[in-house]
């Protein structure tokens, strides 16, 4: 029987009611009295010297309050990078300055040059058209391999080259890995591109700065996944505002997918300008601006090789990747192709020797940073495409080859520095084979062929590292922040309680699932629990939501704080019941004395805490409020196996997804309905990457895909109903809930299955093509089959 | 500036607008009806779908002056008279047809228009009709399921949860 509340129940989401009735409170829904509007004039040139920005005519336009340029920020700190990678020679990465408004040069299309603040948005836009900008255009570098050639134009003149870092992992293993390749019975090599994507949360970014002259406090309302991170970065490194004078609020946020983690110039600008003009300043991104100012994702070019022995055991893996950083280092950009990618290269396999090289490259493009999965989809795609290619070269079944090389004993220390605590890759593959009805595939293929279509079946496994992250570990790896999480549980006198969590919900449903956990622990109704997030003035310093970390890290902090509450409440109950504290049991919202019928209700204990007429004041303080900070001891390792079945029209190259099956192991699950929804969304983004989406630049650095007219977002008719299962559960061993996280799995696990299926279909039509790059568009498929 | 008057969710609404003011802006900025969302600037995403004289319209493709004298329905006017969720809204909650909620008003308004013209749409018909509504969170599975459920069809056979 499904539960009707608490952990494991598919509780309906409480947040839905406000969203379904138009009562959500997104940042753009906020309007401050007397607010002014800013419009950013952005570069339409990818690379050039700013010779003149003449604002005199614009400044005289109606409604214009002030126009800001790079000179106004010359003495102010630039945008900080939150992660420093050390290269294979032990040197720190090259880290360029990143101004709030372009200064001296423009380095990508979309870089803000001037900011016009006016009474209305229309006036600001009109005035921006009157600004005269002169840019001496310079040759742009777009292609990463060209960018690192001798003599290539430099994106940053004060750096030695366009190479941010050349990272080797694990460098000491390189010789052993190369030696294993020399002894290999078979080597499979694959070169591929992991296409550049734009995250595209449906809510564009918004920032509103406000300054209170009476107390000197700044407030920033912003569309962020992590308001405390913004407060820390912007306050300490950009504007020099102490944290007690800076409040950051992220109310309802309409999707994030990584790109709303980062601190952006527009946030710093609005905060700065609100004080400068003594009025609130609001910026709402258009979608066109979003395409050229939100950090992009992926964009790797990789060569990967697998060495196998004569029995088809994987003996060594090596991979060389060029990773695009764009023109500047976005907040966590350096970590994505390194620590979120290299550490995942073992995948689900017991390959004993692995070497990963990553060259991070500056180009005249929008900065690239984490997008749903962040490094892990790139690792999974190359590995799972490679394993499929191995199988075809060797003439063995792709699933059998995977099974043969699966890690089967846990904990398992990989050769790439992480230790998987639990998993059962055989179980998820067994489940997948059952779900995807492999036995019926040949019959389905014949049906397709009878219609003149080709049909293909593709499979892949994945492993991800979630629950980011042990602070001591990431500190050694270059993180400039801790990655713990926090929670305060405040119990009210009449028994209801508020959880203030450092996690942030922007679609994940924390207000529902977090309440389920606390309800289960105390035995009270979920509706007695309120979840508060997204306001630095309300919640303790927390690191926010990304990397599938909320329930694993934020949930664990909440559990620890609730445990403290329960411990204190038991003390109060023992006093009220005149019994030994050790004999007090909490069940279904009542404290009882073991072995007796004496009990006191939850609400009586909470009332006693705040109305301490009969209270052990000598032993404990009144009140019932506790805070906990939780720092995980390891990552969590969700895993799974995915299968995709496609139909391909050889006449047109059109590929349709006919079936998609996903067998995931997320450990324990709080709300199955929400978990399934998270997988659905991830699958759509992964299938979107595989079949549709591509962020394209021309050779001059012009962004060709800058609207929904050109960037192919997946639509309802592009996607199937998905078959999702998470009954295989190996609980995480090191967090109190045994949870692993589910937010990114679908996006990580699905692209290789799609491409493997397309290639299987093409082969069934006689094609000899060994690889096709994403997005697998009809024109690419048709050209590959007829080329 | 031009004065416009229209009926919004059954009430008279008027304001002074510029010729370039979009209906979506008028609803959000002048009328405070912020449930109508703006997710793009090329009339692609559908987060701003409202009903004008009974027809589904992207409120970013219509100037406020064009709606002068019209009857407009927005997401704020969709709940039942007692404030409870209507059939479509309830189906979206029951079937987890929304996550971040940003595309949701447009989805609900499009779904209402679809079911008015096609009371029992097939899966393919729902997907085709939603071509002008982009969702980035749900992968559409539960949206399609919710709309079919709202039409009274049995969706229990559609892959679970």
Query: Looking at the predicted structure, is the pLDDT value of residue A127 above 90?
Result: yes
| Closest approach of A266 to chain B, Cα-based (Å) | 18
Query: Looking at the predicted structure, is the pLDDT value of residue A500 above 80?
Result: yes
Query: Looking at the predicted structure, is the pLDDT value of residue A551 above 80?
Result: yes
Are residues B139 and A746, on separate chains, in Cβ contact within 8 Å? yes
Tell me the HSE value of A726 on the side-chain side, using a 13 A CA sphere.
30
Across A672-691, average pLDDT: 98
Chain B nearest-CA residue for A435 = B159
> What are the pLDDT digits (tens) for A231-244?
999 999 999 999 99
ipTM of the complex: 0.98
| Closest approach of B125 to chain A, Cα-based (Å) | 9
Give just the sign of the alpha carbon dihedral A555, A559, A561, A562.
positive
Across A47-52, average pLDDT: 98
Q: Residue B161's pLDDT is what?
A: 47
**SS3 call for A398:** helix
Across A766-775, average pLDDT: 96
CATH topology of domain A31-140+205-284: Aldehyde Oxidoreductase; domain 3 (3.90.1170)
Query: Looking at the predicted structure, is the pLDDT value of residue A787 above 80?
Result: no
Query: Looking at the predicted structure, is the pLDDT value of residue A3 above 80?
Result: no
Which residue in B30, B141, B155 has the most chain A C-beta atoms within 10 A of its own C-beta, making it the best mutation to test that interface?
B141
Q: Which of B93, B134, B143 sits opposite A20 (nearest CB)?
A: B93
Query: Looking at the predicted structure, is the pLDDT value of residue A1 above 70?
Result: no
> What are the pLDDT digits (tens) for A554-588?
999 999 999 999 999 999 999 999 999 999 999 99
Are residues A713 and B136, on separate chains, in Cβ contact within 8 Å? yes
| Closest approach of A154 to chain B, Cα-based (Å) | 34
Are residues A21 and B33, on separate chains, in Cβ contact within 8 Å? no
Peptide bond between residue A775 and the one before it cis (omega within 30 degrees of 0): yes
CB A522 within 8 A of CB A626: no
Query: Looking at the predicted structure, is the pLDDT value of residue A5 above 90?
Result: no
DSSP string for A228-242: HHHHHHIIIIII---
CB proximity list for A276: less than 8 A, separation 6 or greater: A66, A68
Of A148, A252, A157, A172, the closest CA to residue A206 belongs to A252
Give A300-469+634-786's CATH code, choosing from 3.40.50.2000, 3.30.365.10, 3.40.1640.10, 3.90.1150.10: 3.30.365.10
Across A247-275, average pLDDT: 98
> What are the pLDDT digits (tens) for B56-67?
999 999 999 999
Chain B nearest-CA residue for A2 = B161
CATH topology of domain A15-22+484-630: Aldehyde Oxidoreductase; domain 4 (3.30.365)
Q: Enter the DSSP assignment of A152.
A: P
Q: Give A281's strand partners.
A: A36, A209
Domain A31-140+205-284 in the same topology as domain A15-22+484-630: no
Report domain extents, chain A: 15-22+484-630, 31-140+205-284, 300-469+634-786
State the angle between helix axes of A510-522 and A555-576 in degrees (0 to 180), rounded to the nearest 10: 30
For tokens 């009586």, the residue is A604
């Amino acid at each position: 029987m499904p539960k009707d509340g608490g952990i494991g129940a598919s509780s309906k989401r409480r947040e839905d009611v406000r969203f379904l009735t138009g009562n959500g409170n997104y940042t753009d829904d906020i309007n401050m009295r007397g607010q002014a509007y800013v419009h950013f004039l952005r570069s339409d040139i990818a690379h050039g010297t700013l010779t003149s920005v003449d604002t005199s005519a614009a400044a005289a336009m109606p409604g214009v309050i002030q126009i800001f340029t790079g000179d106004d920020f010359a003495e102010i700190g630039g945008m900080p990078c939150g992660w420093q990678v050390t290269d294979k020679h032990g040197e720190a990465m090259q880290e360029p300055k990143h101004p709030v408004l372009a200064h001296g040069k423009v380095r990508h299309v979309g870089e803000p040059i001037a900011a016009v603040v006016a009474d209305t948005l229309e006036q600001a836009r009109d005035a921006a058209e009157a600004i005269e900008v002169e840019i001496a255009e310079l040759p742009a570098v777009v292609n990463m391999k060209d960018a690192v050639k001798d003599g290539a134009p430099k994106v940053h003149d004060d750096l030695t080259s366009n190479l941010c870092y050349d990272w080797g992992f694990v460098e000491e293993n390189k010789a052993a890995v190369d030696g294993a390749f020399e002894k290999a019975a078979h080597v499979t090599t694959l070169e591929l591109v992991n296409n550049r994507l734009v995250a595209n949360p449906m809510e564009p970014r918004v920032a509103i700065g406000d300054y209170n002259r009476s107390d000197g406090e700044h407030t920033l309302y912003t569309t962020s996944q992590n308001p405390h991170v913004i407060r820390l970065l912007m306050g300490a490194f950009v504007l020099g505002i102490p944290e007690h004078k800076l409040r950051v609020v992220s109310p309802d946020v309409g999707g994030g997918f990584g790109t709303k983690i980062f601190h952006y110039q527009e946030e710093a600008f609005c905060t700065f300008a609100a004080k400068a003009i003594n009025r609130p300043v609001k910026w709402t991104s258009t979608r066109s601006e979003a395409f050229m100012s939100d950090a992009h994702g992926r964009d790797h070019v990789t060569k990967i090789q697998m060495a196998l022995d004569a029995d088809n055991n994987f003996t060594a893996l090596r991979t060389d990747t060029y990773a695009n950083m764009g023109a500047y280092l976005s907040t966590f950009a350096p970590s994505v192709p390194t620590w979120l990618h290299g550490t995942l290269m073992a995948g689900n396999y017991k390959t004993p020797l692995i070497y990963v090289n990553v060259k991070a490259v500056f180009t005249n493009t929008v900065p690239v940073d984490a997008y749903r999965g962040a490094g892990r989809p790139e690792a999974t795609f190359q590995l799972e495409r490679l394993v499929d290619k191995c199988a075809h070269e060797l003439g063995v079944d792709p699933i059998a080859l995977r099974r043969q090389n699966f890690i089967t004993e846990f904990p398992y220390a990989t050769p790439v520095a992480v230790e998987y605590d639990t998993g059962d890759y055989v179980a998820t593959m067994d489940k997948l084979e059952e779900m995807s009805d492999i036995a019926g595939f040949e019959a389905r293929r014949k049906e397709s062929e009878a219609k003149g279509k080709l049909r293909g079946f593709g499979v892949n496994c994945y492993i991800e590292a979630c629950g980011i992250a042990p602070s001591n570990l990431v500190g050694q790896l270059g993180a400039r922040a801790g990655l713990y999480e926090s929670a305060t549980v405040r119990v009210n006198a009449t028994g209801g309680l508020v959880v203030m969590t450092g996690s942030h919900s922007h679609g994940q449903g924390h207000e529902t699932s977090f309440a389920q956990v606390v309800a289960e622990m105390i035995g009270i109704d979920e509706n007695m629990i309120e979840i508060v997030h997204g306001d630095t003035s309300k919640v303790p310093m927390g690191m926010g939501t990304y990397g599938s970390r909320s329930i694993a890290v934020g949930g664990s902090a909440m559990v620890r704080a609730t445990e403290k509450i329960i411990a204190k409440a038991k003390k109060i109950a023992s006093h009220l019941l005149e019994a030994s504290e050790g004999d007090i049991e909490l069940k279904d919202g009542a404290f009882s004395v073991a072995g007796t019928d004496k009990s006191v209700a939850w609400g009586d204990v909470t009332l006693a805490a705040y109305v301490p007429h009969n209270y052990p004041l000598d032993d404990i303080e009144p009140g019932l409020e506790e805070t906990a900070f939780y720092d995980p001891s390891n990552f969590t390792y969700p895993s799974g196996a995915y299968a995709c079945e496609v139909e391909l029209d050889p006449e047109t190259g059109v590929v349709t997804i006919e079936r998609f099956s996903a067998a995931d192991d997320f450990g324990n699950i709080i709300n199955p309905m929400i978990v399934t929804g998270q997988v659905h969304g991830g699958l759509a983004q992964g299938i979107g990457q595989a079949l549709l989406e591509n962020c394209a630049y021309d050779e001059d650095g012009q962004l060709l895909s800058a609207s929904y007219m050109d960037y192919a977002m997946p639509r309802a008719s592009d996607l199937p109903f998905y078959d999702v299962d998470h009954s295989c559960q190996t609980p995480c061993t090191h967090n109190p809930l045994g949870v692993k996280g589910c937010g990114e799995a679908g996006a990580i696990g699905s692209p290789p299955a799609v491409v493997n299926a397309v290639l299987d279909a093409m082969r069934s039509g006689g094609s000899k093509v060994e690889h096709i790059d994403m997005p697998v568009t009809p024109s690419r498929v048709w050209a590959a089959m007829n080329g | 500036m031009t004065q416009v008057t229209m009926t919004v969710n059954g009430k008279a609404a008027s304001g002074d607008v510029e010729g370039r003011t979009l209906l979506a802006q008028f609803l959000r900025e002048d009328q405070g009806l912020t449930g109508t969302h703006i997710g793009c600037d090329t009339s692609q995403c559908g987060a701003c779908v409202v009903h004008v004289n009974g027809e589904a319209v992207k409120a970013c493709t219509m100037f406020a002056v064009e709606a002068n004298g019209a009857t407009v329905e927005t997401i704020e006017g969709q709940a039942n008279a007692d404030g409870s969720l209507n059939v479509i809204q309830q189906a979206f909650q029951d079937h987890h047809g929304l996550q971040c909620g940003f595309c949701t008003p447009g989805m609900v308004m499009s779904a209402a228009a679809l079911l008015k013209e096609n009371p029992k749409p097939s899966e393919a018909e729902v997907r085709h009709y939603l071509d002008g509504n982009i969702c980035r969170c749900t992968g559409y599975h539960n949206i399609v399921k919710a709309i079919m459920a709202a039409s009274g069809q049995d969706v229990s056979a559609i892959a679970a949860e």
